[in-house]
Amino acid sequence: MKLTMPRYDQAAVLVVGDVMLDRYWHGGTSRISPEAPVPVVRVDQIEDRPGGAANVALNIAALGARALLVGVTGEDEAAKSLSDSLRGAGVESHFQRLGDQPTIVKLRVMSRHQQLLRMDFEEPFNTDTVALAREVDALLDGVKVLVLSDYGKGALQNHQALIQAARKKGIAVLADPKGKDFSIYRGASLITPNLHEFELIVGGCADEAELVSKGATLMHELELGALLVTRGEHGMTLLRPEHAPLHLPARAREVFDVTGAGDTVISTLAASIAAGEELPLAVALANLAAGIVVGKLGTAAISAPELRRAVQREEGSERGVLSLDQLLIAIEDARAHGEKIVFTNGCFDILHAGHVTYLEQARAQGDRLIVAINDDASVSRLKGPGRPINAVDRRMAVLAGLGAVDWVVSFGEDTPERLLAQVQPDVLVKGGDYGIEQVVGADIVQAYGGEVRVLGLVENSSTTAIVEKIRSK
């Protein structure tokens, strides 16, 4: 199965469910309380993050899709913090605010990246289900997927009304289920229980064969379009009627914190399906995203650059020969990870020791090295008849095989000035014995605040000299 990055900017998802605020108190601890055998935490940082259904919507927005959210909060400081965070992330929030009940808050006390204590502030909501259903129905037009993010806190009380409203409009319904009664999700396009939640409904599963058998029975009984069971370190299993089961291994290299992993799975699934991906590909992307999020601390959103880099790594396309459009996306991802971009250019007709040393020096100026090379027509104009010796595709392939080179791109003009204006590298590097003001494109790079550096060349290494020596024999 070949993974590709969906066009999330063309997707729209409506999330309905239990919103909450995940609050973190961070601080150091160096002593035990004299009052009780517990550590004393000196709080020096307070952090608020959207949780529950709000985290699902936040993840969808972080991938670049349009995210709409319907939920229930109080009329309090926590609700304001939630609204502000979501608005800043581009989530369109529609909250039913109850003046006599608090917004759900989960407070975690953290020290040295370890959770010492969690305190929950919540009361079951007395939701106006008619008003909520009316709000949802008004927002369904224009979305591709409806997500029911159910934490059993009371925002969702009439699941069937929401499922049927979406199905009448041809909208897929994804549900992250809770509780001991899955019949409330009857008719959903997909539900995503974890293994514990699944076994509470169908009973224990001794092996994968039993999981598949019981899953098929559950799908039939509840008229489900599909069932995805998330299984922790054992990965995920996707079941669909009249299809072979799809088992995907876990992708996490190191599990740091599983908080919000289920939210990441359903948000990536929803955004991918809304972007037009087939379900198996959407599940594979969700599996990759889950592997990223469990390596982070606390409730965290997965960004499009993070997921795209994981896809590139999976497909072995993180480095190499790129088109200009691919290069610009790769640069965007690199900058999202705080990486410095270095650019150099040349003909690189016959690669020799001087080139290799120079490219290694260039790569040392930053985190990612772009090598732009003249195409065949421009090499002929610059070097004369009989050049290049090697065609552009061969020159690019050889350069892409060097450990110092990240990306190779070609250009058709005599100089790379147009390319520099589009790429805008942090550092422009050129080899030679001339001043910075003589470097082609230096004015372009310096105009936007970039650096220009001139590196020395290895003596007695010249492509032209090599070609002349070969021709003289």
* Cα–Cα distances in angstroms (integers) from residue 204 to residues 19, 182, 296, 455, in the given order: 31, 16, 31, 66
Would you call 18 a catalytic residue per the annotation? no
Give the C-alpha separation, 406 to 393, whole Å: 16
Tokens 């989960």 map to which residue?
Answer: 106
Give the C-alpha separation, 366 to 81, whole Å: 38
Give the C-alpha separation, 286 to 236, whole Å: 10
Of 263, 375, 376, 406, the catalytic one is 263
The answer to whether 126 is a known ligand-binding residue is: no
Handedness of CA 90, 95, 100, 101 (dihedral sign): negative
The answer to whether 194 is a known ligand-binding residue is: yes
The answer to whether 197 is a known ligand-binding residue is: yes
Nearest to 462 by CA among 342, 358, 392: 358
The answer to whether 94 is a known ligand-binding residue is: no
Handedness of CA 169, 175, 179, 51 (dihedral sign): negative
Handedness of CA 266, 268, 271, 277 (dihedral sign): negative
Bridge partners of residue 47, in order along the sequence:
24
Number of Cβ within a 10 Å radius of residue 462: 15
Binding region = 194-197
Q: Residue positions in the annotated binding site for ATP?
A: 194-197
* Catalytic (active-site) positions: 263
